Structure 1
């Protein structure tokens, strides 16, 4: 099965009147395996409202994780969410890509403060 990345608009809960534009992606090989995507969100008037960094990786300590970070137009971290498994494992656990995307959504609104860093295992 080919790798199918998430539908980022679903994860970020992008309003339908906004546009999400990919700025790029980066991948790296073993032993630190992973991929990162970078997106910009524009409102209906074309103003930049947010930037996102999404990741699916095995980090320096060998921990598997996937998640995202949301920044305002000025580069300040607004929100983040992470699960302690790779994207493919999350899809398998949730039995669908859509279920995995929902598991990666943040539960509160876009304007909430950044919670303390913690790992969350999606059940």
Structure 2
């Protein structure tokens, strides 16, 4: 099967009036095999609103995974989502690239305020 990269605007639910710009990508070979993409999202006025890191890889332990992380304009991680398989396996499982993109849209890793201990410090 020919590799078909995801449509990142679909995965990130980028509003139509926003612009998603690729900053670059990185590939690496065994034993940690994979590729990462880096995007910036700008609003209609051209203001940076988010940065994204998307990945499709085999990690150091040999586990397959693909997913993304969203950072706000200040660089804080605000959302993430990951599935335990490579992009091509997800496309095959969903029987379409569009189906795989929908699976990656889910916000299983929405981040909120850091929990605090009884002493007021981050847990």
2:120 is matched with which residue?
Answer: none
What is the CA–CA distance in structure 2 between the aligned matches of 1:19 and 1:49, rounded to whole Å?
10
Q: Distance in 2 between matches of 1:114 and 1:104?
A: 20
What secondary structure sits across from 1:98 in the alignment?
helix
Q: Report the CA distance shift for 1:69/1:76 in structure 2 as closer, same or farther (over 3 A).
A: same
Q: Is the 8 A contact 1:80 1:114 kept in 2?
A: no
Contact residue 63 and residue 84 of structure 1 kept, 8 A: yes
Separation in structure 2 between the aligned mates of residue 60 and residue 70 of structure 1, nearest angstrom: 22
Alpha-carbon spacing, 1:114–1:25, altered in 2? closer, same or farther (3 Å): farther
Runs of 4+ deviating beyond 2 Å = 112-115
Equivalents in 1 of 2:64, 2:112: separation in Å?
Answer: 22
Aligned pair 1:22/2:29, yes or no? Answer: no
Query: CA 1:57–1:100 in structure 2 vs 1: closer, same or farther (change >3 Å)?
Result: same
Q: Tell me by how many angstroms 1:30 deviates.
A: 1.2
Question: Kindly tell me: are residues 114 and 59 of structure 1, through their superposed partners in 2, closer, same or farther at Cα, counting changes over 3 Å?
Answer: farther
What 5-or-longer segments of structure 2 have no aligned partner?
Answer: 114-123
TM-score, normalized by length of structure 2?
0.87
After TM superposition, the score normalised by the length of structure 1 is: 0.87
Unaligned runs of 5+ in 1: 116-123
CA distance in 1, matches of 2:65, 2:105: 15
Q: Tell me which structure has the larger Cα radius of gyration.
A: 2
Number of matched residues? 112
